[in-house]
Chain A
Amino acid sequence: MTKSLPFAPLSRRHFLVGTAALGGLAAAGISTRVFAEEPAKPAEIIVRAWGGSWMDALKAGVSDPFTAATGIAVRHDLTEDNEIQPKLWAAIDQGRVPPIHVNWDTTTNATKSALKGYAVDLSDLSNLAGTLDTSKPVGLDGYPIVNTYGYVYVLAYRPSAFPDGAPTSLQVLLDPKFKGRIGLYNDGIGFHFPAQVAGGGKLEDIPANMQPAWDFITKVKAQAPLLGEDPDFTTWFQNGEIDLAVTISTNAREAKKNGIDIAWTVPEEGATYDTDGLWVPKGLPENELYWAKAYVNFALSKDAQQVWCDGLGLPGVVAGLTPPADLVGDPSYPTKPEDLAKLIRIAPQVQVEHESEWFGKFKEIMQG
């Protein structure tokens, strides 16, 4: 899943602004010696990344210190995640060396590659020992993907439209006052699960019976919501087109940083929690595979996580990270098990299996 159009110059990733602190990296005592013997070092390894501030954060937190520690240069390939996927699959199908060493990907997308058996198992990475259980891909054997941070699809709102305080429930979406002033993703991503709860259904019924979700979405359709991609939400809030949106917290935070009066909350129905991760495609030469895994291992070290995730403003998967000052105690920045309990997590495997059907159903309702 990409959250931007292929031609749109701005993707979700670009909206994460955060100046990564570059200090104290060399002193971190990072060990890259995950294996007993070091095979030959390649001149460089290629990591697919999202551009802009996303790449800046990765570079500052992971790539540059990795180069400093190992002498291996890191090149960032900015091909869109959804476009690299068919290329990777084709290369592996045809027995060619894949065009990248490490793919920074959404967990849902990466799960597809894992299910195809195209991802290398990363269970033997030494730094996995220090990670929270959110780093483990749910429902897959071993670690074909390592989740590296999470994000939340919050209910973002314009405080001036809510003089009586923050909305507490998704039922607010049905308020006639907000007709035409609601923003949702155009495939409904992040909204299907809370809608299931809002429609009176149970999360355990996903995917077997999602009728409550469709019923609720049908009611929301009557409210003429705007449907878009990540960059749209910031624009819409900025241009006064919408008052409410279910969107990734980072979009809301970005709009706020741009000076727009905006706040966000996790409604009583809950909010979808999802993750991004790193994975290594099969078919790499032995030595390059070794150093690709070393890169992923390095990304899981606490110092790397601290700088990288600060840059993104998202909660990492290593215990004991310090959150950015503006996000302490924020519902979109879960750090404790009880924070996570308020959020809705659906196994990626279930998601990828039914995604097409859910997106189709959502679009069918909205295009009608």
Chain B
Amino acid sequence: MRPTTSRYPLIWRVLDGLEAAAARLWPRRFTRATPVLMLAPSLLLVLLLVIGLVELGDSSLRELDTSTFRLSATWTGANYLKIATSGLYWTVIWKSLFGALVVTALSLILAFPYAYMMVRTRSGLLRKLLLVALFLPFFIGQVVRAYGWLIILGNQGVVNDLLGLVGVAPVRLLYNYPAVLFGLVQYMLPFAVLMLAPALTAIPAELEAAAASLGANWVKTLTRVVLPLARPGLIGAGLVVLTLTLTDFAMPAILGGGSQDFIANAIYDQFFRTSDQGLGSALALVLVAIGSLLVGAVFTLFGAGTLAMGRQR
């Protein structure tokens, strides 16, 4: 080989320099500790979270004395007893939980065809349109979107105006449970689509062609091939939507007309409205427990390899 006369590209020099600097900062003999270094920031974050949870746990075991507005010095289960015996909190927990399940189911049902079309379409234009339509709502925050629904669905809103044209008297579409769920589904849809799209991309289109050549119509191709293979995506998207919905605050607050509180709204009230840190902490931990139980149940039901982690290729 003749020595090359062409110039060594600049980018190589830059990378070599960076590599040398990295070697000086982190000598080769530390290599075995590198994974620890990479993990350190996330471990630190988890540690902070744990500290916060411990603090919450401590507060949740102290009752507020409303004559001095101080938490009790000794531990008591009064806050948890209050939650367990109060109709209000059962209602709120049930509304959050049921809402989360319904919203998850609806979001997945609606997101699947959207993601499928986005991934499979041969038309670049259609794919771009679907992507833009998907990302546009991300630039519009949850609160602004909720207020948008107030305008559209209000008694003098667009929908009621249209109903008025065909002679239907204004219908109250807002400030009820379905309105909250509707707003949540609309909010969660992009999350579900974004989680599903990579899972569907990972399924070769050839598999669907194969199923068709083997005699499967589209329904059977969907149920026997695509859905089973999309399971990691469906479960991932489901978990994200489920936990986001369960802990949502803005949609119940804005579209619920004050009578459709979720757990987060009840927690907010305790921390910021009635200044009861103890009860607020207890409610927060109940929410953490419900969320963890749900996620745990999903893993138990569908197996730990559900998210396609640790699978050999």
Contact = CB atoms under 8 A, between A and B. Distances in A.
Contact of A359 (B69, B87, B274): B274
Interface stretch (A2-10, A28-36, A65-73, A124-132): A2-10
B69 A352 contact: yes
B270 to A, nearest CB: 8
A58 B282 CA distance: 39
A309 B53 CA distance: 45
B154 A239 contact: yes
Contact of B271 (A86, A186, A360, A363): A86
A83 B275 contact: no
Given A2-B272, A363-B261, A115 B69 contact: yes
Contacts of A115: 67-69
B92 interface: yes
Interface stretch (B121-129, B203-211, B251-259): B251-259
B271 A2 contact: no
B88 interface: yes
A296 interface: no
B66 interface: yes
Contact of B258 (A6, A83, A226): A226
Given A116-B69, A367-B91, A356 B279 contact: yes
A60 B90 CA distance: 49
A355 interface: yes
Nearest to B95: A367
A48 to B, nearest CB: 15
B257 A227 contact: yes
A346 B271 CA distance: 23
Interface in A213-271: 226-229, 235, 239-241
B250 interface: yes
Interface in B174-194: 175
Contacts, number: 93
Contacts of A229: 258
Give the interface size bracket for B toward A.
Answer: 35 or more
Given A112-B275, A226-B257, A356-B274, A180 B67 contact: no
Contacts of A117: 68
Interface in B257-283: 257-261, 268-277, 279
A85 to B, nearest CB: 7
Given A226-B175, A356-B66, A7 B250 contact: yes
A359 B69 CA distance: 17
A239 B155 contact: yes
B276 A241 contact: no
A238 B112 CA distance: 40
A148 B196 CA distance: 57
Contact of A364 (B66, B88, B260, B272): B88
B269 A187 contact: yes
A237 B161 CA distance: 17
Given A85-B275, A359-B273, A367 B66 contact: no
B70 interface: yes
Contacts of B269: 187, 359, 363
Nearest to A364: B88
B224 interface: no
A41 interface: no
B4 interface: no
Contact of B86 (A180, A349, A360): A360
Tell me which of B143, B154, B259, B268 has the highest count of chain A C-beta atoms within 10 A of its own C-beta. Answer: B259
Interface of A: 1-2, 5-7, 82-83, 85-86, 109, 112-113, 115-117, 180, 185-187, 226-229, 235, 239-241, 349, 352-356, 359-361, 363-364, 366-368
14 contacts: A2-B272, A5-B254, A7-B250, A85-B272, A109-B275, A113-B69, A226-B257, A241-B155, A352-B69, A354-B66, A355-B66, A356-B276, A367-B259, A367-B261
Interface of B: 64, 66-70, 86-88, 91-92, 95, 143, 150, 154-157, 172, 175, 250, 253-254, 257-261, 268-277, 279
Q: Which 8 residue pairs are nearest across A and B when measured between Cβ atoms?
A: A227-B258, A186-B258, A364-B88, A356-B274, A353-B66, A82-B272, A116-B69, A112-B69
